[in-house]
Structure 1
C-alpha cells in the first residue's frame, strides 16, 4: 500500500517509533511546519492522511478542497481544531489518542489544586521577594473539608476522582453523557450543572471545546461559586471567559485559579492573569511526560495506519458524543 502522510505536530514529528509504524504501513512521510489554513490545504492536496496538533486548523475549507484525504490523526485528545462534521460528511475518518495522558493530566490538575489550596505560588513569590511570613498565603482551608466538582466525567476526571478519594475529598460531577451508576462506581455523585455550582469549593474542568462549552464559565457561573472557591482548568482555555475570571478574582467572588490553558496561547505579555498571586499558570503542559509523549506518537500512528488498512479502530472520533 502506497500512501502519503503529512506530519504537522512538533510533539511527535521527530519520534522514531511513529515513523517506523507509518512506514511499515506503506506510508511516505512529509513534514509541514506552517500551521495556517492555506498551508494545510496545500499540504493535503494529494495526501492520504495528516497528523496534526491542537494548533493546526483542519477546517471545512481544507476538507472540501481535497479529494484524496482518508484520515486526519489528532496527536492528542481534543479535536476542536478539526471540523469533524465536515470530515464525516466527506468520508474522512478522524482519529485521536483519547487515553495517552490520563495519568499526566489528572496528576497535573491535582497538582494545580494542591498548589492553590496551599497558596504555594503566593508563598514562593513572597519568599523570593524577601518576605518570610506564614501569613503571606492566607486564608487557607483544609483540603478535605471541601467538595470538588468535576465538569465532565471522562477518563481524566475519573483518574482525578480516584486520586482525590485518598485525600478524603468529597467529589461530585456533572456530565450529560455519563449515567449516575457509572459515577457511583468511582465514588462520585452525579448532579446537575446548577447544583454543582452551588455545592463545590473546588472546581475542575474536563470538557472539550465546542459551541456548547465556549465560555461555559463566565460572570454568572463565577458569581454562584463561594468566595473560597478554587477553579482548575486543564481542558481548553476558551471554556473560561478570562475577563470574567479576572473580575471574579478582583472582587473576591472566588479565591484562586489554577490554569494550564488560556484563551490565547501563548498569552499576551499584558494578560492580567499573569500578574496575579492568586493564579497559577502552566504552559499547556499537563499532557507531558516522557512516557506520554511516546504513547502519543505511537498511538496516533497506529490509529492512522489502521484506517489506511481498512481496519476497525477504537480511536475513531464520534461527533455525537463530544464529552470524552
Structure 2
C-alpha cells in the first residue's frame, strides 16, 4: 500500500509515519509545487492524505489508482466529494477530533469578548484603564447563549455554556423549532438572533451556509450581543459584520476563522477594539493534534487495506461495493 501526503504544514510527520508503518503501508510526502509535481509524486498511489490541496475530477483522473482521499480535519470543502463518489473513491475526514478543543475555544472567545478582557488588557498596559470605556458588562447567569449548528461541537459548546449559567438555545435546519437536541431547545434562526446575547456559530461552509449571517440577519441581533465564529469565515458577511461593530450594533465579536486567511494586518477587523481575533487555531490542543494526525492516516490505511474506515463522508461508495479498484 502506498499513501501520499499531498501537503502538510505540521512540524512533524512522526505520528503519521508510525501509523502507516504499523498498518503495513508506505507513507510518502509530495514535494512542494503545483499540480504537475503532485501528480508525479502520487502516481501509483493507493491513497491521498490532504490538508489544503484541492482534489477535483482532473486530479482523480490523473491518479486512477487512488482509492481513498483522507483529509486532515472536519471540513471537506476542498475535496470534490461527488467526483470521488462517481469514481468509487472513498472520502474520509476526522469529524470529532476537535470537539472539546473547539468548544473550549468558542467559550473562551465568548467570555473574552463579552467581558472585553482583551481591551482591558491593552488599556492596563497603556495606562488608560477606565470602567466607562467598557460598560455595560453583565454576569453570565440569566443571559442567553445561542448556538447555531447543533452537531458535536455545537452541542459541546452548549453544554459548557449552560455550566456557566447561561440559558442556552439552538438553531439548526435539521431540527424543528420546538424540539430539543442534547437538552438544548431548538428555535428558528431569526428568533435565536433576536434573543441571544452570545451567538456562537458551528456550521460547515456549504452553498446553504455561505453568507448565513449577512446585513439583514445582523440587523436582527441585539446591540449587547457578541458574535463568535469558530466554524468557517465564509459563513459571515465580513463587511456587514464590520459595519455592525463600527456602528455599535454589536457589543463585540470573537473570531477564529476569517474570509481571508491569514488575516491581513490591515484588515478592517484588526482596527476594532471590540473584536478578539485568533488565527484559525481553535482546533488545537496537544491531544487533538495527535488524534487528528493518527486518525487521518488510519482512515487511509484502513481503506487501502479493504477495511471500512472509522469516518467516511461518502458511504455510498461502500454500499455500491466500488471502494476497491
Fold shared by both chains (TM-score > 0.5): yes
Aligned 8 A contact 1:36 1:56 in 2: no
Name the CA distance, whole Å, in 2 between partners of 1:221 and 1:109.
21
Name the CA distance, whole Å, in 2 between partners of 1:196 and 1:247.
21
User: Runs of 4+ in structure 1 displaced over 6 angstroms?
Assistant: 179-182
Name the CA distance, whole Å, in 2 between partners of 1:181 and 1:276.
37
Residue 181 to residue 155, structure 1, CA distance change in 2 (3 Å): farther
Q: CA deviation at 1:314?
A: 3.1
Name the CA distance, whole Å, in 2 between partners of 1:85 and 1:276.
41
3-state SS in 2 of match to 1:145: coil
Name the CA distance, whole Å, in 2 between partners of 1:36 and 1:124.
44
Question: Is 1:5 matched up with 2:4?
Answer: yes
Q: CA deviation at 1:18?
A: 1.9
**Aligned position for 1:34:** 32
Aligned 8 A contact 1:257 1:279 in 2: yes
Q: CA deviation at 1:296?
A: 0.8
Segment of structure 1 superposing worse, 160-169 or 109-118: 160-169
3-state SS in 1 of match to 2:219: helix
Q: CA deviation at 1:42?
A: 4.3
3-state SS in 2 of match to 1:158: helix
Name the CA distance, whole Å, in 2 between partners of 1:319 and 1:172.
32
Q: How does 1:90-105 map to 2 (within 5 A)?
A: 90-105=87-102
Aligned 8 A contact 1:73 1:300 in 2: yes
Name the CA distance, whole Å, in 2 between partners of 1:136 and 1:64.
59
3-state SS in 2 of match to 1:296: helix
Q: CA deviation at 1:28?
A: 1.9
Stretches of structure 1 lacking an aligned partner (at least 5 in a row): none
> Quick one: which of 81, 86, 110 aligns to 1:84?
81
Name the CA distance, whole Å, in 2 between partners of 1:199 and 1:159.
20
TM score, norm. by length of structure 1: 0.91
Question: Is 1:143 matched up with 2:140?
Answer: yes
Q: CA deviation at 1:180?
A: 7.1
Question: Is 1:48 matched up with 2:40?
Answer: no
Aligned 8 A contact 1:226 1:254 in 2: yes
Aligned 8 A contact 2:113 2:226 in 1: yes
Aligned 8 A contact 2:3 2:49 in 1: no
Stretches of structure 2 lacking an aligned partner (at least 5 in a row): 317-325
Residue 194 to residue 38, structure 1, CA distance change in 2 (3 Å): farther
Give the root-mean-square deviation of aligned CA atoms. Answer: 2.1
Question: Is 1:154 matched up with 2:155?
Answer: no
Question: Is 1:241 matched up with 2:237?
Answer: yes
Alignment: residue pair count: 316
Aligned 8 A contact 2:90 2:314 in 1: no
**Aligned position for 1:276:** 272
Name the CA distance, whole Å, in 2 between partners of 1:35 and 1:282.
28
**Aligned position for 2:322:** none
Q: CA deviation at 1:177?
A: 2.8
Q: CA deviation at 1:198?
A: 2.2
Name the CA distance, whole Å, in 1 between partners of 2:57 and 2:241.
32
Aligned 8 A contact 2:148 2:199 in 1: yes
Q: CA deviation at 1:132?
A: 2.8
> Quick one: which of 194, 211, 223 aligns to 1:215?
211
**Aligned position for 1:18:** 16
Aligned 8 A contact 2:177 2:188 in 1: no
Name the CA distance, whole Å, in 2 between partners of 1:231 and 1:36.
37
Aligned 8 A contact 2:49 2:69 in 1: yes
3-state SS in 2 of match to 1:94: strand
